[in-house]
Structure 1
Amino acid sequence: MKTYNLAFRFRIYPNKVQSNLILQTFGCVRFVYNKILGKAKEIYELEGKNKIITPASLKSEFPFLKEVDSLSLANAQMNVKTAFTNFFQKRTAFPKFKSKKTARKSYSTNSVNNSIRIENNCIKLPKLGLVRIKLHRNIPQNYKIKSATISQEPNGAFYISILTEFQRDIKEVSSDNNIVGLDFSMSELFVSSDNQRADYPRFFRKLETKLAKAGRELSRKVEFSSSWYKAKLKVAKIYQSIKNSRKDFLHKLSRELVTKYNAIILEDLNMKGMSQALNFGKSVADNGWGMFTVMLQYKAMFLGKQVIKIDKWFPSSKTCSSCGNIKDSLSLGERVYSCECGHTMDRDLNASINIREVGRSLLAY
């Protein structure tokens, strides 16, 4: 039996008192993070050492910190410690201070002695008590709650991400011939080797005009005025609608694929580099390909199936899936692949078949 972690995200509906305490906790966590980082920076500049103070040392000077969940402040300290460790090991740049205007509104707390638990249609949280929750899916009883992260979206909605731990003996499923290759498509998300096309709805493009209009209305308002906040909320709601629609579509599509196939083969693409090189930034971001591949990987793992990523430099589009001949050049405008051997096929379908066969050899290995 192996131990696994899985997070569940739900919408929560705190009352006014609870909402105010959550907002207060956001502020205190940011305040503690900046204070600890500031002190660590002083020590580093004077002594060149990695030394982190504790939140407890700040409570005597700042009594308001006692009003919020102490574990949320402890997690802020751990975040500073992690950031400094990464800096000292030359994995990242020097940590930055959190801004009230730009920092994500969230805090994390840990479950100690069952302090975080589901009770009917509510969730019990430290300091907050029982908070109403929309349980659109059940957490299995054998899943142990380890921690929770409470966050607020720009549209004002509150969410909770519950991290669970469970043990499961996952038996690998034989791939046999039940394998599919997926070739990334800018307009359709992917084309499979079975000629399935995702027909991605392009949620951002659908609401782009509406979003641009709301953005123009926001730009005409006096910053931080009452009308400015209303216009800003309108923009945030449109973005949230796009985000929710995209995630819902990708969750359902990834579940369909991992249920149908025993092995899924993909290219290990650099989406950021692709969007910059080809000036397809909006289309790439709208597709959510990175999010989609992550969903495929963890859902396949829990079913004992495989998701294999092949080398991004493999010429899947230029290779003939019939004879194996590789073309010297193939422009993006050529949507039909024609080979000297007489083989003619849709470009994306040809590429997905090549991806499947390369992945098949990796599975056999």
Structure 2
Amino acid sequence: MPVKRAFRFRFYPTAEQEQRLAQHFGCVRFVYNHMLARREQRYKDGLKSSYVDDAAALTALKQTPGCVWLREVSIVALQASLRHLETAYKNFFARRAGFPRFKRKRAAQSYSLMRNGFNLRDGKLTLAKIAAPLDVRWSRQLPGTPSSLTVSRDAAGRYFVSLLCDDEVAPLPVCDKLFAADLGLTHFLTFADDQPPLSPPKFLAELLHRVRRLSRALSRKQQGSKNRNKARQRLARLHARIADSRKDFLHKLSTQLIRENQAVFMEDLCIKGMMRSHLARSIGDAAWSELLRQLAYKAAWYGRTYWQADRFFASSKTCHACGFKHKSLPLNIRQWACPACGEIHDRDRNAARNILNAGLLATGTAGRAEP
């Protein structure tokens, strides 16, 4: 199956390259914010905007005396920022994302280049307007010639390059195992079979004392001072460590589930709404939405079946044995006995078994399945 796949590598720029990259980051950020403000003003004036209109405005902007410094960076990177702005508006109108926001200088920085903006030959990657090749740590072999790349610097000051390539993903061999689970905080995954639940990873909770200590140290530093910048970087490095650990765990878990099971059935949760509750920190640390996202695209890659129960499916309140459904079941009730058949249920495992049964029916398998 042909797919578009990004390969991300870390690189270590020289002092001169850091300066040139910072120049590109700043120019791309300025163009994006300028065009976003321009689009907002045109909307107030009753005018429409498009990529073509923005491109013409960029050409005129580069000719103005106050913006001649835009000519010192790659025009490919500036045009890519216009495409990103156009994509942001399309996602907003399609209700896939919120309204585009202005980019901040202190946040993570990035810019993109199409094929005419970089050169990759014999393991040496050279970017437009940067003469010397980058010191990239090639940790894997690229499947082909990249069609585009993105250079980024995270809040911790690390530099990465992400190359987009066409890759051929072979479907995994067919197996007879099925997987269904219920998501939770006490137990990260409660399985439909009799294996013990998976304990929740607590990447942020285990280092929360250090996050609080570094956050207090940052708040005491004077605005604009070098010591404040050092404290900010220390805190950013700790957050990067937590995020990397969480990402590594989720990728390993999702890959294992897809490789070992022919079909994966999960529940659909209103995570955005749940993040407004007092459990927001724990839910964010668990990263349910990222796990579901990875399962979805990896199942499509490797020829597996992936299905999510409806958000309003009463998996916890329904008896998986006879189908009896409670009108209400408070969250503090973790075990209950079915008044119809007498079956004693663990709340989460019963929900996982209902998800399994519903997934089998929804994907074309008739009858109920016992885990």
TM above 0.5: yes
Counterpart residue type for residue 336 of structure 1: Q
State the distance in 2 between where 1:89 and 1:328 align: 36
Counting only pairs closer than 5 Å after superposition, residues 188-337 of structure 1 correspond to structure 2 as: 188-194=187-193, 195-276=195-276, 278-337=277-336
Counting only pairs closer than 5 Å after superposition, residues 110-121 of structure 1 correspond to structure 2 as: 110-112=114-116, 115-117=118-120, 119-120=122-123
Counterpart residue type for residue 72 of structure 1: A
Identity %: 33
State the distance in 1 between where 2:94 and 2:355 align: 37
Counterpart residue type for residue 59 of structure 2: A
Q: Is the 8 A contact 2:172 2:259 kept in 1?
A: no
Total equivalences in the alignment:
356
Q: Is the 8 A contact 2:171 2:301 kept in 1?
A: no
State the distance in 2 between where 1:233 and 1:172 align: 42
The answer for unaligned runs of 5 or more in structure 2 is 366-371
Counting only pairs closer than 5 Å after superposition, residues 1-365 of structure 1 correspond to structure 2 as: 3-46=2-45, 48-50=47-49, 52-54=53-55, 55-61=58-64, 62-84=67-89, 95-102=100-107, 104-112=108-116, 115-117=118-120, 119-120=122-123, 122-128=124-130, 129-140=132-143, 143-167=144-168, 177-194=176-193, 195-276=195-276, 278-340=277-339, 341-364=341-364
TM-score (norm 2): 0.87
What's the Cα RMSD here? Answer: 2.5
State the distance in 2 between where 1:295 and 1:246 align: 13
Deviation at 1:353, TM superposition (A): 0.9
Q: Is the 8 A contact 2:338 2:345 kept in 1?
A: no
Q: Is the 8 A contact 1:182 1:193 kept in 2?
A: yes
Assess, with a 3 A threshold, how the Cα gap between structure 1 residues 116 and 297 changes in structure 2: closer, same or farther.
Answer: farther
State the distance in 2 between where 1:316 and 1:90 align: 28
Deviation at 1:83, TM superposition (A): 4.3
Counterpart residue type for residue 106 of structure 1: S
CA shift digits 1:27-83 (9 cap, x unpaired):
000111233334444444445232533233322332322221211100112233344
CA shift digits 1:165-220 (9 cap, x unpaired):
2356x658657x52111100113321121235332321000011111111111111
The answer for unaligned runs of 5 or more in structure 1 is none
Deviation at 1:242, TM superposition (A): 0.6
State the distance in 2 between where 1:272 and 1:49 align: 32
Assess, with a 3 A threshold, how the Cα gap between structure 1 residues 133 and 91 changes in structure 2: closer, same or farther.
Answer: closer
State the distance in 1 between where 2:173 and 2:322 align: 31
Q: Is the 8 A contact 1:337 1:350 kept in 2?
A: no
State the distance in 1 between where 2:335 and 2:137 align: 48
Assess, with a 3 A threshold, how the Cα gap between structure 1 residues 87 and 185 changes in structure 2: closer, same or farther.
Answer: closer
Deviation at 1:326, TM superposition (A): 1.3
State the distance in 2 between where 1:270 and 1:63 align: 48
What SS does the aligned partner of 2:146 have?
strand
State the distance in 2 between where 1:266 and 1:207 align: 29
